[in-house]
C-alpha cells in the first residue's frame, strides 16, 4: 500500500524503547491495604486495552517505592506475558491515569519511553498497541507454551506507518472520544448489574414482595441462613426435581454443550472456538430442552445451567442432568440455583461430600433446602428478572456494536485509509 503524504515507514524501536519493570517480591505488596502506592499488574488490564483499576484487585507496596519505577500520569505500559495459549492480551497497553494516586512499574509490563529523534505521541502509540496487526506480530514471535512471553526487542521490531505528530494527536483524540462513550456504557451496564443483584437478594428471600403476593401478614419463618415469609415453603431440591440419567447410547449426533459459571449452558464449539470434547459421545448424557445440567466437580463455582438452546443436546458424563416438577417455574428456580446463597451451599455440601473428591452428586444436591413461594409468585418474580436481563442484553449488544465500529475506524485511521484534518 502506498504511504499517505508525509507519513513514513518506521519501527516501534525508531520511536521509543521498552523498559522492564521492577521485580517486586510477593512480600513487597499486599491486597489487604487501602492506602499506599499501587503496584500495577497485568491483572489490572482490560482485554481490549486500558486499565480497569476500579474493578480489579489492587496490590499496594509494603516497601518504599523503588527509585526510577514511579509512574507518571499519561505513561503507557504494555503486557509482556499472557497466560492464555492464544496470546490474546500480549502487548495490550494501559495508560496511567491522573487521579492523584501513585502507581509503580511492575515486572512483566514494559514501559514505553519515547525518543526525541522521532516525535511520537504516547496516546497514538497506545492505540497502535491496541491493534490486531501489533498483537499478531507479537504472538507469531512469542516464546513459551502455557504462558506466552514477548520481549522489548520483539516489540520494538514492529513496523508501521507513522503520520506527522499533529495527525497522531488528532487520531488519538478521535479514538479517545469513542473510548469515553464505551466507558459510559460500561458504567451503565455495571449499575444495571448492581441493581439486578440487589433486587435478586430482596425478591428471592421474600424481603421484598411484589404487589398482590404478601400473604404472610407479617409472619415469618427462618432457618440458619435467614428469615423468610411464613407463606413460603421450605423444601428439599429433591422434592421439586428428579434426576434424568439418560445416556447417548446410540451415539446420536447432537450438539455438545458446556456449562459456564456466568452464562450457564453454552454451545461448546461456538464458545471455545474449537472442539474440546471427545470424538465418541456415546457415553455423554442427553439434556432435553427444559432440563437443568451442572458439572458435578465445578458446581461450587456456580456452573449450573438451564437448557433452552436446542431441542436436545449432550453434556459430558461428569455432568448431572435433572428436571423439575409442575410446582416449579423453571426460570425462577434457575435464579435461585445461581444465587450467592446456593453457591455457598454447594461449597458446603461439596466439602462434606462422601467421596470427598470435590464433586456434588445428585444425592447430595437433592438434600439442599430452599424456600419456595407459590408458583404464581415464582412466575411474577421471574418476569421481573427476565425484563432486567433483556435490558442488560440490549446494553451489551450496543456496547459490542460500538466497540466493533471503533475498531473498524481505528484500523482505517492507523493505516491512513481515512485521513483527518489538523
CA distance 64 to 104: 11
**Full DSSP string of 169-194:** HHHHHHHHHHHHHHHHHHHHHHHHHH
What secondary structure letter does DSSP report for 21?
-
CA distance 342 to 365: 10
Q: Nearest Cα to 40, choosing from 57, 16, 17?
A: 57
CA distance 191 to 109: 31
- Are 8-162 and 233-372 equal in CATH topology? yes
What secondary structure letter does DSSP report for 146?
S
Q: Given this model, what pLDDT does residue 356 score?
A: 47
Q: Is 342 helix (H, G, I), strand (E, B) or coil?
A: helix
CA distance 280 to 287: 17
For domain 163-225+375-422, give its CATH number from 1.20.1730.10, 1.10.287.1120, 3.10.129.10, 1.10.645.10. 1.10.287.1120
Give the contacts of 180 (CB within 8 A, at least 6 positions apart).
none
Q: What is the dihedral of CA 170, 173, 177, 183, to 10 degrees?
A: 150
pLDDT in tens, 120-130: 999 999 999 99
CA distance 135 to 376: 53
Handedness of CA 155, 156, 160, 164 (dihedral sign): positive
CA distance 12 to 138: 12
Return the CATH class of domain 8-162.
alpha beta
Q: Given this model, what pLDDT does residue 256 score?
A: 93
User: Structural domain boundaries of the chain?
Assistant: 8-162, 163-225+375-422, 233-372
pLDDT per residue as tens, the chain (422 positions): 688 889 999 999 999 999 999 999 999 999 999 999 999 999 999 888 999 998 899 999 999 989 999 999 999 999 999 877 677 789 999 999 999 999 999 999 999 999 999 999 999 999 999 999 999 999 999 998 888 999 999 999 999 999 999 999 999 999 999 999 999 999 999 999 999 999 999 999 999 999 999 888 889 999 988 999 999 999 999 999 999 999 998 888 899 999 988 888 999 888 887 777 888 889 999 999 999 999 998 888 889 999 999 999 999 999 999 999 999 999 999 999 999 999 999 998 886 554 545 689 999 999 999 999 999 999 999 999 999 999 999 999 999 999 999 999 999 999 999 999 88
Terminal-to-terminal C-alpha distance of the chain: 23
CA distance 163 to 15: 12
Q: Given this model, what pLDDT does residue 170 score?
A: 97
Q: Given this model, what pLDDT does residue 1 score?
A: 66
Report whether 353 contacts 359 (CB < 8 A).
yes
Q: Given this model, what pLDDT does residue 350 score?
A: 82
Give the contacts of 166 (CB within 8 A, at least 6 positions apart).
422
Q: Given this model, what pLDDT does residue 55 score?
A: 85
CA distance 16 to 156: 8
The C-alpha cell that represents 44 in the structure block: 489490572
Give the contacts of 327 (CB within 8 A, at least 6 positions apart).
240, 372, 375
What secondary structure letter does DSSP report for 14?
H
Taking each helix axis as running N to C, give the angle between helix 330-337 and helix 375-415, from 0 to 180 degrees, rounded to the nearest 10.
70
CATH of domain 233-372: 3.90.220.20
Amino acid at each position: 500500500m502506498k504511504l499517505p503524504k508525509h507519513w513514513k515507514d518506521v519501527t516501534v524501536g525508531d520511536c521509543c524503547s521498552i523498559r522492564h519493570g521492577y521485580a517486586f517480591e510477593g512480600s513487597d505488596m499486599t491486597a489487604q491495604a487501602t492506602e499506599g502506592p499501587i503496584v500495577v499488574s497485568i491483572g489490572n488490564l482490560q482485554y481490549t486495552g486500558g486499565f480497569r483499576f476500579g474493578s480489579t484487585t489492587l496490590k499496594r507496596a509494603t516497601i518504599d517505592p523503588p527509585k526510577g519505577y514511579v509512574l507518571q500520569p499519561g505513561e503507557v505500559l504494555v503486557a509482556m506475558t499472557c497466560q492464555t495459549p492464544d496470546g490474546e492480551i500480549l502487548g495490550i497497553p494501559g495508560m496511567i491515569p491522573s487521579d492523584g494516586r501513585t502507581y509503580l512499574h511492575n515486572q512483566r509490563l514494559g514501559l514505553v519511553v519515547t525518543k526525541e529523534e522521532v516525535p511520537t505521541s504516547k496516546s497514538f502509540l497506545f492505540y497502535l498497541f491496541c491493534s490486531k496487526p501489533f498483537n499478531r506480530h507479537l504472538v507469531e514471535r512469542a516464546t513459551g507454551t502455557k504462558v506466552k512471553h514477548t520481549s522489548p526487542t520483539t516489540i520494538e521490531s514492529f513496523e508501521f506507518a507513522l503520520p506527522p505528530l499533529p495527525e497522531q494527536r488528532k487520531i488519538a483524540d478521535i479514538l479517545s472520544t469513542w473510548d469515553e462513550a464505551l466507558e459510559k456504557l460500561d458504567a451503565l451496564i455495571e449499575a444495571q448489574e448492581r441493581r439486578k443483584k440487589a433486587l435478586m437478594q430482596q425478591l428471592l428471600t421474600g424481603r421484598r414482595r411484589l404487589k398482590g403476593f404478601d400473604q404472610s401478614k407479617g409472619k415469618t419463618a427462618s432457618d440458619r441462613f435467614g428469615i423468610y415469609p411464613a407463606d413460603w415453603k421450605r423444601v428439599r431440591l429433591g422434592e421439586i426435581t428428579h434426576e434424568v440419567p439418560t445416556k447417548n447410547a446410540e451415539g446420536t449426533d447432537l450438539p455438545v454443550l458446556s456449562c459456564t459459571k456466568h452464562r450457564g449452558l453454552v454451545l461448546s464449539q461456538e464458545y471455545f472456538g474449537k472442539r474440546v470434547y471427545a470424538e465418541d459421545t456415546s457415553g455423554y448424557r442427553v439434556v432435553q430442552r427444559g432440563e437443568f445440567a451442572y458439572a458435578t466437580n465445578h458446581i461450587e463455582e456456580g456452573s449450573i445451567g438451564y437448557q433452552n438452546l436446542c431441542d436436545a443436546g449432550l453434556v459430558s458424563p461428569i455432568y448431572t442432568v435433572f428436571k423439575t416438577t409442575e410446582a416449579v417455574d423453571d426460570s425462577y428456580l434457575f435464579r435461585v440455583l445461581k444465587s450467592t446463597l446456593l453457591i455457598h451451599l454447594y461449597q458446603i455440601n461439596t466439602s462434606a461430600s462422601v467421596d470427598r473428591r470435590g464433586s456434588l452428586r445428585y444425592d447430595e444436591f437433592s438434600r439442599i433446602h430452599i424456600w419456595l413461594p407459590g408458583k404464581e409468585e415464582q412466575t411474577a418474580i421471574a418476569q421481573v428478572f427476565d425484563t432486567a436481563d433483556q435490558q442488560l442484553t440490549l446494553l451489551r449488544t450496543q456496547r459490542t456494536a460500538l466497540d466493533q465500529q471503533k475498531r473498524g475506524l481505528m484500523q482505517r485511521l492507523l493505516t491512513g485509509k481515512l485521513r483527518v484534518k489538523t
